Amino acid sequence: MVSKASGRLQICNLRPRAKSGKMRGMRLLLIEDEAKLGEYLRKGLAEEGYVVDVATDGIEGLHLAMELDYDVIILDGMLPGIDGLSVLAALRQTKSTPVLMLTARADVEDRVRGLQGGADDYMIKPFAFSELVARIQVLLRRAQSHPSSPEPTALREADLEVDLIRRRAVRAGVRLELTAKEFNLLALLLRRQGEVLSRTELASQVWDMNFDSETNVVEVAVRRLRMKVDQPFATPLIHTVRGMGYVLESREQP
């Protein structure tokens, strides 16, 4: 696990052994200004079979990201020169390369801004190296199954449309009056439409909290969201998958 303590970088060697797989040989860009962490991740990812370029500031990282083609970009949020969100905003003007952001900040609003700005995933420091590898593999599989396209500013499913820039949601021409949390929850479900999202993931991404089986905040929020998104309309879009979580998708009515 990687973390900071007493101003010094602490690294616990959780790196798994290199193993064969379909993702070997993919090219990654790591933009990280902490030298020890950057070198640790570079070596570990190289052992996993990835080709890794490293940039230590936002300016160099943006230059490499724009000039070369990468399969995934790992981007630290706090960088000298240009911060991570500014690098992401500039990149998204012309490229849709999958971006996994790293941050030392636990504030959910920072993650929401990053995701709405075009990040595909977020990890909070400290993190286990094995989880980083797993998330990279997910992004690679997702990119291979969905050909690249310009980053959307609006999300749609059936007659539901969400404007990410104006933060407005409309269904069947009717404006939905949503709270900030409800909008973030709906945007997350819509970004990942067709995927079952667990209560744990929803709690982490939207409320910045570890899921507690004693807490029903997710269930209450989904129920309220359904009252606005589904209840007034003929066809429900938000569905419960028993024992797994929730999914937003169109389904044929029985």
Domains identified in the chain, total number: 2
Q: Give the angle subtended at the CA of 184 by the CAs of 198 and 149, to the nearest 5°.
A: 90
pLDDT at 152: 63
- Facing residues of 99 across strands? 73
Query: Are 138 and 20 within one domain?
Result: yes
The chain-wide mean pLDDT, for the chain, equals 83
Query: Are 96 and 161 within one domain?
Result: no
- Facing residues of 63 across strands? none
If one compares 253 and 180, the residue with the highest pLDDT of the two is: 180
* Domain enclosing residue 211, as ranges: 154-248
pLDDT tens by residue, 88-122:
999 988 888 999 999 887 777 777 888 888 899 99
pLDDT at 20: 37
Whole-angstrom CA distances from 182 to 115, 144, 196, 225 are 15, 31, 18, 6
- Which of 117, 145, 173 marks a domain boundary? 145
Query: Are 122 and 196 within one domain?
Result: no
With 0-12 / 13-18 / 19 or more C-beta atoms within 10 angstroms meaning exposed / middle / buried, residue 148 is exposed
Phi, psi values for residue 51, rounded to 5°: -95, 120
Of 37, 31, 41, the residue nearest 8 (C-alpha)? 37
Phi, psi values for residue 52, rounded to 5°: -125, 125
Does 21 score more than 90 pLDDT? no
- Facing residues of 25 across strands? none
Q: CB–CB of 183/201 below 8 Å?
A: no
pLDDT tens by residue, 139-160:
988 887 765 555 567 889 999 9
Distance CA 175, CA 135 (A): 35
Distance CA 63, CA 90 (A): 10
Query: Are 34 and 138 within one domain?
Result: yes
Query: Are 130 and 42 within one domain?
Result: yes
Q: Is 254 a member of any domain?
A: no
Does 17 score more than 50 pLDDT? no
Q: What is the CATH number of the domain that holds 130?
A: 3.40.50.2300
Q: What is the CATH number of the domain that holds 197?
A: 1.10.10.10
Query: Are 101 and 190 within one domain?
Result: no
Would you state the structure tokens that stand for residue 32, as one six-digit string? 């990280």
- Which of 145, 175, 207 marks a domain boundary? 145
Query: Are 196 and 123 within one domain?
Result: no
Query: Are 186 and 244 within one domain?
Result: yes
pLDDT tens by residue, 167-212:
899 999 999 999 988 988 998 899 888 999 888 888 877 876 665 5
Neighbours of 35 (CB within 10 A): 11
**DSSP label at residue 126:** S
